[in-house]
Amino acid sequence: MARRRDYLDIPRMLPPRPPSRWARRGKIMSGWGFLALGVVGLFLPFLQGFLFLAVGLYILREEYSWAQRTIDWLRRKFPKYTGQMDQGRERATAWLTRWRRKVRRTVYQVKR
C-alpha cells in the first residue's frame, strides 16, 4: 500500500512564477548592501571583507551579468578554492530552503 505522501507529490508542470517586484528589489538591495559591507571590510580589521564581497556577488549573479562574470573570473583565478565556493553555495542554499519552509509554515498557521 502506497503512503499518502507518495501519490500527493505532483511534479510541477508550469514554469515557476517570476519573483514579485518587491522580492526582486529586496534581493538587489541586500546584494548591494553586502558589497558595501565588503568594501568597508577591506579597510576595517574586524570585518571579513572578502566574505561579504563573495556573498554580495552570489546574491547579485542572477540579476547582473557582470557579477556572474566576476564569479567566473574568481573561479579561473583561484581554482584551489572552487570546491569551497561550491560547498558554501550548497550550504547557503540548504539553509535558505529550511528558513523559507519555516516561514511558510508559520505564515500558513497564522492565516488559518
- Burial category of 18 from C-beta neighbours within 10 Å (exposed 0-12, middle 13-18, buried 19 and up): exposed
Residue from 56, 7, 66 nearest 30 by CA: 56
- The DSSP code for 79 is G
pLDDT at 4: 55
pTM of full prediction above 0.85? no
pLDDT at 66: 93
Residue from 21, 31, 29 nearest 68 by CA: 31
Over residues 7-46, the pLDDT tens digits come to: 555 566 666 677 778 878 888 898 899 899 989 988 988 8
Return the domain boundaries, the chain.
Answer: 19-77, 79-112
Over residues 47-68, the pLDDT tens digits come to: 888 888 888 888 888 889 999 9
